[in-house]
Structure 1
Amino acid sequence: MPQAYALPMRALETCLYVDDLEAAEAFYSGVLGLSLFGKVAGRHLFYRLEGSMLLIFDPAASLQPGDVPPHAGKPGGHACLGIAREETDAWQARLEGHGLKVTRYAWGNRGESLYFEDPAGNVLELAPPSIWGLG
């Protein structure tokens, strides 16, 4: 039987890969309004979210040896960022105002998700935690 720990596990980092860090920074900072926590030109962008981090890496650069073990993916990932349920309409208007194609999906009475792509083709989702029964 697994050992019980004092704190429940939660996602600490979500990592996406992009081929153009400048376009990614313009998108995540400008369109989504996230605050840049740190960056290394040509390698990565880090954004602090509520209780976790969003890491945006250039896949070729993240394969190079460094302080952490090399790791890489490729564009085409998925991440869901939590929003307040009552902000869904405003977010859809904002995203569409930036020229993004938004697909809206209803999860019964649990809320709705907004799906769209970043400039690298990663599928992003904005949704209230209630879609998973979370507070």
Structure 2
Amino acid sequence: MRALETCLYADNLDLAEPFYTEVLGLTLQGKVAGRHLFYRLSGSMLLIFNPGASAQPGDVPPHAGQPGGHACLAIDRADTNRWEARLKAHGVAVTRYAWGDRGESLYFHDPAGNVLELAPASIWGILDA
């Protein structure tokens, strides 16, 4: 089993979209203005919902959370420095954390206050893809 979707919440999708598309370079799969942004990752999806809109009845059961969640996106261990430089070039404050010989994580916030992490799978003892 593996995670197919990861969901975060953002009150302002107009701020979230350029962050995830331009800063992180993710591919936008679909969106409904004011409701959600869906991004394709390698083998899974990242869903960004407006909590007020996703709590409304519709085709799927209503659900909502609050901004302030956490998601970790896997990167190649060799790309950690490149990602740190890219984030900082976009004005994103980055905290780097070493997991001993397993690799390093980059922690930062999106515009909604969600804590994002970029890290190699080796921090969990999983071989990098």
- Pairing partner for 2:73 from 77, 81, 106: 81
- Root-mean-square deviation (Å): 0.4
**Equivalents in 2 of 1:71, 1:46: separation in Å?**
16
Q: Which residue of 2 aligns with 1:51?
A: 43
* 2:61 maps to amino acid: P
1:32, distance to aligned residue in structure 2 (A): 0.2
Q: Report the TM-score, using the length of structure 2 for normalisation.
A: 0.98
Runs of 4 or more above 2 Å deviation: none
Larger Rg: 1
**Equivalents in 2 of 1:99, 1:27: separation in Å?**
11
Gaps of 5+ in 1: 1-8
Q: Which residue of 1 aligns with 2:123?
A: 131
Provide the aligned length of Structure 1 versus Structure 2.
Answer: 127
Q: Which residue of 2 aligns with 1:65?
A: 57
1:21, distance to aligned residue in structure 2 (A): 0.3
Q: Report the TM-score, using the length of structure 1 for normalisation.
A: 0.93
Secondary structure of 1:54's aligned partner: strand
Gaps of 5+ in 2: none
Identity within the alignment, %: 76
Q: Which residue of 1 aligns with 2:111?
A: 119
**Equivalents in 2 of 1:100, 1:14: separation in Å?**
22
Secondary structure of 1:104's aligned partner: strand
